[in-house]
Amino acid sequence: MATPHLPRPPHWATRLLHGFCADHLVEEMEGDLEELFHQRVQIMGEKQARIRYVLDVLSLIRLFVLKQKVTEYSLLPNSIMLRNYAMIAFRNLVRQKGYAFINIAGLAVGMTVAMLIGLWVYDELSFNQYHQNYNHIARVMNQVTDEQELHIGNSLQYPLAVELKNAYGDQFTHLLKASWTQSYILSHGDAKVSKIGIYIEDGAPEMLTLKMLRGTWAGLRDPHSILLSESTAKALFGDKEPLNQFIKINASIDVKVTGVYEDLPQNTEFHEIQFFAPFDLWVSMNEWIEKRAVNDWNNHFLRIYAQIKPNTSFETISNTIKDTELDKIKNLEGLQEQVAHHPQIFLHPMSQWHLYGSFEKGIPEKGPVQMVWLVGIIGGFVLLLACINFMNLSTARSEKRAREVGIRKTLGSLREQLISQFLGESYLVVIFAFCLSLLFTQLSLPWFNGIANKDMHMLWGNSWFWLTSIGFIGITGLLAGSYPALYLSSFHPVKVLKGTLHIGRSASTPRKLLVVLQFTVSVTLIICTIVVYQQIQFAKNRPVGYDRKGLITMEMKSADFYGKYDLLRTALQKTGVVTEMSESMGKVTEVTSGNGGFNWKGQTQNQDKDFGTLTVTPEHGKTVGWQFVAGRDFSRELASDSSGMVINEAAARYMGLKNPVGEPVSWTWSQSQKIKQYRILGVIKDMVMDSPYEPIKPTLFYIQGFNGSVSWINIRLNPRVSTSQALSKIEAVFKKLIPTAPFDYQFVDQDYAKKFAEEERIGKLASVFALLAIFISCLGLFGLASFVAEQRTKEIGIRKVLGATIMSIWQLLSKDFVLLITLSFVISTPLAWYFLNNWLQTYEYRTHIYWWIFAVTGAGALVITLLTVSFQSIKVALMNPVKSLRNE
C-alpha cells in the first residue's frame, strides 16, 4: 500500500521531541503524534495538520516527559547493594594497602597542616575579641605633620585628656587615662614577683569586661587598690585568700587587693598586663606629673583608651574630635611650633590594633596582615598538594577497575549508580582522612603552639570550623572522585570486557601537569626556607661590637637601688665572680632614648638628625667590652670626664669628623635653651643595639649626674668562675644590699637572641611546611611511579627477554619524572627569586640570594625524585620476566 507522496510531519519538530523527551517515552509519543497527524491531514489538510503537530510537540514539554527522569527504578541503592558497595570499597583499600596508605596519610597530613594554619589565621583575626566591648573600644591617637611626613603616635598630653572629657564626654561610655605599661615589683611578705602592669582609671575593668574571680569591677575606685591576674595572685599568695590583703609596689607603696580576675588569653593586646592599678596612684607616685605635666601641652606621656556609645561610630567621633588639640593650643603662647605641625586626634579601633597596629609614615604597616595571608596561602598550597595526590592516584588507579565497571554494567547497573558508587568511595577516604587529621591536629597543637608562640585550642564548638570542614570535604571528595566516576562510568561494557579498551596517552597529561604544579610549589617553598634561614644566620653573625657572653643585665625597679652604686660595685667585685659592673640609662641591647640639638664643628645645615644617647657610669665601657678605634674610655679619676663623650663610628661618620678625639660638641635642650659643652674622648666600634637588620644608629655615650637617671645594671662575670656559682654569689650580695627587689636578671646574649624570634618563627614554620610539602609531593610521586611501573610490567618483561639491562629499564621509567621535575624547577626559580628579593628588600642588612641555593635545591629535588621513583622502577626491572609474562 505504498503511496507515492505521503505527507510527513515537520522533521525539526520530531527532532525537538527527541531532544527533550525521555528515552522510554519517545516511541509512544512519536507514534501518537504521527497517527494524529495523518488523521488530521485527512480532515483539515496538510498545512493545518503540520501546525497542530508542532503545537502538540510543544504541549508535550511537560515535567514527566523531560529527560531528567530517565528511569522508573529508584536510584537510591537498597541495603544489599549498599553493603556490596561498602565491601568492594573496603576490599579495594585492603588489597592496595600501599596505595590506600599514601592516599589517606597524604590527605590527612595536608588537612592537618591546613587545619593548624587555619587555627593560626583564626587566632590572628580574632585578636582582642575576648573583650565583649571589642567593637566599641578604641585608643586615642595623635598625628602630626613633620616636614611633609605624617607621624602617628599614642602618647598624648594630660590636658588633652581633660579637654576631651569636658567637650565630648557624652559621646563616650568610657574615656580613660592610663599609664604606659611597665614592669614593677610586687611584694607581700617574703614573696616578691616582677610583673608588668598598667595604671588606668576606674572604668577599665568594665570596659575590658575582665572576668572577676574575686571582688568586682568597682575594685579600682579607691586610689590605693589593685586588681591582680589569677596567676599573679597565686604567685604572691599561694592558696591563701588574696582579697583585702596589702601588697607593696616597688617596695614603697602599699595597696589593697580588691579583686582577682581570670588571666587574659594570649590573643589579646592586654595579655602581658598582670595587674591593674588606679591611675591616681600613678600620679601620686610620680611627682613630675603634677609638677610639670598636668598643664603642659608639650608633654606626651599618657595613653587614652575609649569606649564609644553604641549608637555612634569611630569615624563620626574621630571627625568631631580631630581638632581638639589644635583649637586649644593655637591661642596658647609658646606652642606655635606645635601648631605648625597640625596635630590631629583620632580613634584607632581595637579591631585594628593587632594587624594594623604599627604605622609607617602615617599609613598602617601591612606586615602583620600580609604575614597572616601569606601563611594562609602556604597552608592552602600544602592542602592543594595533598588533594592533587589524591586526585592523581584515584584516577590512575581507577583504570584498573574498568573490568568491574564492565561487569556491573552488563548486569544492569545504571550510570548514575556507578557514579554514586565511585563518588561514595572517594568520600569514604576523604572522611576517614579528615578524622585522622582531627587527631593529628589535636596531637600536634602543643608543638605548634610552641613554634608560633601562641595558645591556640581546637575549635570543637565553633560552627564556622565545622562549616568550613564540611565544605572542604565536599569539594575534595567531588574533585577526587568526579574524574573516575564520570570517566569510568562512560565505558562501553563490551569493549571493556573484550579487553580492547585503550586508555590514550592524553589521559595522563593532566596528571603530569599536576605533578609539575606540586613540585613547583615544593621547590619554591624549599628555596624560600633556605633563604630565610640564611638571612637569620647572616644577621646573627653580624659583628655586634661588644662581648655578649658572660654579661648580665637587670632593671633597677626599686628605689632602693639608687645611691648604692659604689657600695654595690665594691661588694660585687669583692666576691671575685664579677670583674666589672656599670649602670646605664638603657639596656645594652636597645637604644632607648634619642636626642637632637647637638652642634659640632663642620656641621652642615641639614644635619639635624637625632642621635641615640645613653647615660652611663664610667665603667660601662669596661663592663660591656667596648672596642676603641681612637681615643680613650671614661676615667673615674679625671673629674673633667663628666663632660666627656664617647661616640660610635657611625656617629663619627655622620658628623664628618676626621679626627674626632678632642673635638667639642655642644648640646642645646630646646625647651630651656640650656647649653652644655662636651668633648669627645674616644670613638668605639659600632655596636648593634637596635635591630640587627638595620644600619647602626649614630650614638653618643656620656656621663651625667648618674644617680637617678640610670635604670639598668650591667654585670660582667668572671670567665674563670662557673655561671651558676657566680649567680648565687651575686644574688647573695643583692639580697643583702637591696632586699626589696627580686634578683631578676637577663643574660645579654639571650636577650640579643630574642631579636631574631620573629624571623626564627617564620623560618621554623616555613621549614616545617616545606618539608611536609616535599613529603606529600614525594608520596604522590611514589604512588604514580608504582602505578606506571605496574602498567608497564609486561612491556618491561618483553624488553628484558629481548636483552634490556636493568640500567636501561631504570632509565626508561625515570626519564619522564626527571623531565617533569626539571620543568617545575625551571618554573619555580624565577618565582622564588621574585618573592625573596621583595622580602629581603624590607631589611637594610641583608644577605644575597646566592645561585648555589637554587643549584642545591634543584639537585636535591632531583635526587629525592630519583630515589622515590627508583624504588619502584628497580623493583620492576629486577622482576623475573617469566612471572610478568606468564598470565594470559
Partner 1 sequence: MKGTYLGEFEEVVLLAVAIRSGDAYGAAVTSEIEQQMGRSVNLGAVHSALHRLEEKGLVNSQMGGATAERGGRRKRLYSVTIAGKRALEEIHQLRNQMWESIPKTAWS
Q: Is 51 near partner 1 (CB under 8 A)?
A: no
How many residues touch partner 1 under the rule CB under 8 A: the total is 23
Cβ closest to partner 1, residue 30 vs residue 280 = 30
> Do 542 and 845 touch, CB atoms closer than 8 A?
yes
What phi and psi, each to the nearest 5 degrees, are found at residue 333? -75, 150
Q: Is 470 near partner 1 (CB under 8 A)?
A: no
The single residue among 7, 16, 22, 29 that binds partner 1, judged by CB under 8 A, is: 29
Q: Which stretch binds partner 1 (CB under 8 A): 48-56, 504-512, 650-658, 771-779?
A: 48-56
Distance (Å, rounded) from C-alpha 584 to C-alpha 614?
Answer: 7
Q: Is 671 near partner 1 (CB under 8 A)?
A: no
Residue at grid coordinates 647649653? 675
**Residues from 55 through 74 that contact partner 1 (CB under 8 A):** 55-56, 58-62, 64-65
Q: Is 323 near partner 1 (CB under 8 A)?
A: no
What phi and psi, each to the nearest 5 degrees, are found at residue 614? -145, 120
Cβ closest to partner 1, residue 42 vs residue 500 = 42
Cβ closest to partner 1, residue 8 vs residue 498 = 8
Cβ closest to partner 1, residue 53 vs residue 448 = 53
Output the smallest distance, CB 46 to partner 1, in A. 16
Q: In 3-state terms, what secondary structure has residue 791? A: helix
Output the smallest distance, CB 122 to partner 1, in A. 51
The single residue among 16, 22, 36, 428 that binds partner 1, judged by CB under 8 A, is: 36
Distance (Å, rounded) from C-alpha 561 to C-alpha 542?
Answer: 34
Q: Which stretch binds partner 1 (CB under 8 A): 23-31, 402-410, 717-725, 818-826?
A: 23-31
Cβ closest to partner 1, residue 24 vs residue 609 = 24
Cβ closest to partner 1, residue 20 vs residue 432 = 20
Output the smallest distance, CB 15 to partner 1, in A. 15
Q: Is 32 near partner 1 (CB under 8 A)?
A: yes
Distance (Å, rounded) from C-alpha 381 to C-alpha 386?
Answer: 9
* Residue 362 zone, left/alpha/beta (φ > 0; ψ -120 to 50; rest): left
Element (H, E) at 684: strand 675-684
Output the smallest distance, CB 73 to partner 1, in A. 16
Distance (Å, rounded) from C-alpha 121 to C-alpha 436?
Answer: 21
Output the smallest distance, CB 417 to partner 1, in A. 24
Output the smallest distance, CB 52 to partner 1, in A. 8
CB atoms within 10 A of CB 743: 16
Output the smallest distance, CB 62 to partner 1, in A. 5
Output the smallest distance, CB 50 to partner 1, in A. 14
Q: Which stretch binds partner 1 (CB under 8 A): 29-37, 212-220, 509-517, 620-628?
A: 29-37
Cβ closest to partner 1, residue 32 vs residue 758 = 32
Distance (Å, rounded) from C-alpha 122 to C-alpha 129?
Answer: 11
Nearest to 111 by CA among 393, 426, 430: 430
Angstrom distances, CA of residue 28 to CA of 65, 66, 540, 567, 679: 11, 14, 86, 114, 113
Cβ closest to partner 1, residue 38 vs residue 676 = 38
Q: In 3-state terms, what secondary structure has residue 157? A: strand
Task: Report the amino acid identity of residue 878.
Answer: L
Q: Is 340 near partner 1 (CB under 8 A)?
A: no
Distance (Å, rounded) from C-alpha 768 to C-alpha 762?
Answer: 10
**Residues from 133 through 172 that contact partner 1 (CB under 8 A):** none
Cβ closest to partner 1, residue 52 vs residue 653 = 52
Helices (H) and strands (E) in the chain, counts: 28, 27
Output the smallest distance, CB 76 to partner 1, in A. 19
Distance (Å, rounded) from C-alpha 233 to C-alpha 215?
Answer: 13
Distance (Å, rounded) from C-alpha 25 to C-alpha 109?
Answer: 51
Kind of pairing, strands 172-178 and 551-555? unpaired
Distance (Å, rounded) from C-alpha 738 to C-alpha 563?
Answer: 11
Cβ neighbours of residue 121 closer than 8 Å, sequence gap 6 or more? 372, 375, 376, 379
Q: Is 859 near partner 1 (CB under 8 A)?
A: no
Element (H, E) at 387: helix 367-398
Output the smallest distance, CB 64 to partner 1, in A. 5
> Do 142 and 301 touch, CB atoms closer than 8 A?
no
Q: In 3-state terms, what secondary structure has residue 792? A: coil
The number of residues making up the chain comes to 888
Cβ closest to partner 1, residue 51 vs residue 863 = 51
CB atoms within 10 A of CB 470: 11
The single residue among 23, 27, 610, 731 that binds partner 1, judged by CB under 8 A, is: 27
The single residue among 12, 15, 18, 38 that binds partner 1, judged by CB under 8 A, is: 38
Classify residue 812 as exposed, middle or buried by CB count within 10 Å of its CB (0-12, 13-18, 19+).
middle
The single residue among 15, 18, 39, 447 that binds partner 1, judged by CB under 8 A, is: 39
Cβ closest to partner 1, residue 17 vs residue 552 = 17
CB atoms within 10 A of CB 207: 24
Q: Is 31 near partner 1 (CB under 8 A)?
A: yes
Cβ closest to partner 1, residue 2 vs residue 411 = 2
Q: Which stretch binds partner 1 (CB under 8 A): 54-62, 329-337, 423-431, 693-701?
A: 54-62
Output the smallest distance, CB 63 to partner 1, in A. 8
What is the distance between the terminal CA atoms of the chain, rounded to a whole angstrom?
A: 58
The single residue among 7, 34, 507, 579 that binds partner 1, judged by CB under 8 A, is: 34
Output the smallest distance, CB 70 to partner 1, in A. 15
Q: Which stretch binds partner 1 (CB under 8 A): 28-36, 159-167, 647-655, 660-668?
A: 28-36
Output the smallest distance, CB 30 to partner 1, in A. 6
Q: Which stretch binds partner 1 (CB under 8 A): 34-42, 312-320, 391-399, 683-691?
A: 34-42
Provide Rg for the chain, Cα atoms: 39
Distance (Å, rounded) from C-alpha 175 to C-alpha 308?
Answer: 8
Distance (Å, rounded) from C-alpha 444 to C-alpha 425?
Answer: 28
- Over the window 581 to 600, marking each residue x when it contacts partner 1 by CB under 8 A and - when it does not, the resulting string is --------------------
Name the site residues for partner 1 (rule: CB under 8 A). 1, 27-36, 38-39, 52, 55-56, 58-62, 64-65
